[in-house]
């Protein structure tokens, strides 16, 4: 089989009687497990093949089928990963009846971050690809953002203050990140229907990395996304909303905005609005006042909080898809 051929358990085989009988008995296909747990199918297969963490049932045609116990086990794996445990150490820990309260060393994430930093400093695109693929295969997007990419961005931002070569590193890394995440978002969008979530960059800086991280996280949560990586005047933003009819609009800025501009940008529209980024902290007092005046306005400091907010508002997932 070609390495580019689709996995058999991703195929829609409605004529497979064994598969249909298994689904009728409350067994779950991999796509549903991915939706429920937030762990993509590629990672689930890697946990199975490399580490034996999850061993699903199989039909004669090779379809993977999961039970509720598998779901519980995946959630336990995520708990350990969130504590900083390397994926290779999780299997032994799953035998423990209770989760310990002790903090687990996070050297694995530090090593991954150093590998990315070294590749960025030398503009070594292939090494950067390889270093990211090693961790992307094993961890879900939310954990990658929390433990690797957001700390990496914070470290780079400090490192670039007044350093010769900073612009070169920034353009190289931001271009790579937008290309990498954009490809994943495009692939996800092809699989998803319904109203998209519209993300708009309000910053003067193109290729805002946290905007693309937000788009990737939301796309990974089974939500189609449209990304406008350039500021729009308020009237043209309203026109975009009228044409696209998004389920919600996410406006990102890492910079201060003109205070007089905020009410125009955030004025009532036909969908909820979420303002995300450091601008929320910069304009905290003004925005809290606007929240009392504008219906449907929500605030989040970073991509992780944006994801949590939209989940809490039930604005993500296939259940919002429209025919």
Domain co-membership, 166 together with 226: no
Q: What is the pLDDT of residue 149?
A: 96
DSSP structural state of residue 89:
G
Question: Is residue 228 helix, strand or coil?
Answer: strand
Domain co-membership, 114 together with 201: no
Q: Is residue 17 part of a domain?
A: yes
- d(C-alpha 300, C-alpha 253), whole Å: 11
Sign of CA dihedral 69, 70, 75, 76: positive
Rg (CA), the chain: 21
Q: Residue 57: name the closest of 36, 27, 12 by CA.
A: 27
Domain co-membership, 204 together with 290: yes
- d(C-alpha 34, C-alpha 321), whole Å: 17
Exposure of 40 in the CB half-sphere (CA atoms within 13 A) = 21
Angle, helices 303-312 vs 209-220, to 10°: value is 40
Residue 80: which H helix or E strand, with range? Answer: helix 68-82
Contact 287, 299 (CB under 8 A): yes
Q: What is the pLDDT of residue 168?
A: 96
CATH code: domain of residue 159: 1.10.1240
Q: Is residue 1 part of a domain?
A: no
DSSP structural state of residue 14:
T
Domain co-membership, 115 together with 70: no
- d(C-alpha 146, C-alpha 83), whole Å: 11
Q: Is residue 100 part of a domain?
A: no
CATH code: domain of residue 311: 3.40.50.280
Question: Is residue 276 helix, strand or coil?
Answer: strand
- d(C-alpha 86, C-alpha 104), whole Å: 9
Domain boundary, last residue among 30, 62, 93: 93
Sign of CA dihedral 97, 57, 71, 187: positive
Q: What is the pLDDT of residue 53?
A: 92
Region of 26 (left: φ > 0; alpha: ψ -120 to 50; beta: rest) is left
Q: What is the pLDDT of residue 296?
A: 84
Domain co-membership, 115 together with 19: no
Domain co-membership, 16 together with 81: yes
For residue 66, the cross-strand partners are 28
Q: Is residue 116 part of a domain?
A: yes
Domain boundary, last residue among 177, 206, 229: 177
Angle, helices 125-136 vs 166-191, to 10°: value is 50
Domain co-membership, 138 together with 87: no
- d(C-alpha 151, C-alpha 195), whole Å: 32
Q: Residue 152: name the closest of 130, 119, 103 by CA.
A: 119
- d(C-alpha 226, C-alpha 164), whole Å: 35
CATH code: domain of residue 47: 1.10.1660.10
DSSP structural state of residue 255:
S
232 is in which domain, residue-wise? 192-320
Domain co-membership, 118 together with 207: no
Q: What is the pLDDT of residue 16?
A: 66
Domain co-membership, 313 together with 270: yes
Domain co-membership, 89 together with 112: no
Cα 233–276–138 angle (5° rounding)?
A: 125
Domain co-membership, 166 together with 221: no
Domain boundary, last residue among 70, 93, 116: 93
- d(C-alpha 255, C-alpha 204), whole Å: 8
Residue 150: which H helix or E strand, with range? Answer: helix 150-159
Q: For residue 55, which phi and psi values (nearest 5 degrees)?
A: -120, 90
Give Cβ neighbours of residue 66 (< 8 Å, ≥ 6 apart): 27, 28, 29, 30, 32, 33, 54, 56, 57
Q: Is residue 185 part of a domain?
A: no
Q: Is residue 260 part of a domain?
A: yes
Count of domains observed in the chain: 3
Domain co-membership, 197 together with 151: no
- pTM, whole model, 2 decimals? 0.79
Q: Which two tokens stand for residue 162?
A: 């007044």
Q: Is residue 187 part of a domain?
A: no
- d(C-alpha 122, C-alpha 59), whole Å: 48
Q: Is residue 276 part of a domain?
A: yes
Low-confidence ranges of the chain (pLDDT < 50): 1-12, 14, 97, 100-105, 319-323
């Amino acid at each position: 089989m070609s390495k580019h051929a689709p996995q058999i358990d991703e195929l829609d085989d409605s004529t497979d009687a064994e598969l249909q009988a298994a689904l009728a008995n409350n067994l779950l296909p991999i796509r549903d497990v991915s939706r429920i747990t937030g762990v993509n199918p590629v990672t689930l297969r890697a946990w199975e093949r490399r580490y034996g963490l999850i061993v699903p049932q199989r039909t004669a045609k090779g379809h993977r089928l999961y039970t509720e116990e598998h779901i519980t086990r995946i959630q336990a794996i995520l708990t350990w990963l969130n504590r900083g445990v390397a994926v290779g150490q999780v299997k032994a820990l799953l035998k423990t009846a209770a989760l310990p309260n002790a903090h687990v060393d996070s050297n694995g994430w530090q090593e991954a971050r150093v590998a990315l930093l070294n590749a960025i400093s030398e503009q070594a695109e292939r090494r950067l690809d390889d270093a990211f693929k090693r961790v992307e295969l094993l961890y879900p997007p939310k954990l990658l953002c929390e433990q690797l990419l957001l700390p990496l961005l914070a470290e780079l931002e400090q490192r670039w203050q007044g350093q010769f070569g900073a612009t070169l590193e920034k353009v190289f890394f931001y271009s790579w990140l937008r290309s990498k995440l954009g490809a994943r978002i495009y692939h996800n969008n092809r699989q998803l229907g319904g109203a998209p979530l519209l993300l708009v960059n309000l910053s003067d800086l193109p290729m805002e990395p946290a905007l693309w991280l937000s788009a990737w996280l939301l796309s990974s949560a089974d939500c189609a996304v449209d990304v406008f990586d350039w500021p729009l005047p308020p009237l043209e933003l309203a026109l975009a909303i009228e044409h696209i009819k998004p389920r919600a609009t996410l406006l990102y800025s890492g910079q201060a905005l003109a205070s007089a501009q905020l009410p125009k940008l955030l004025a009532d529209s036909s969908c909820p609005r979420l303002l995300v980024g450091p601008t929320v902290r910069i304009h905290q007092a003004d925005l809290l006042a606007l929240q009392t005046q504008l219906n449907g306005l929500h605030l989040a400091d970073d991509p992780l909080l944006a994801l949590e907010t939209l989940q809490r508002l039930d604005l993500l997932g296939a259940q919002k898809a429209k025919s």
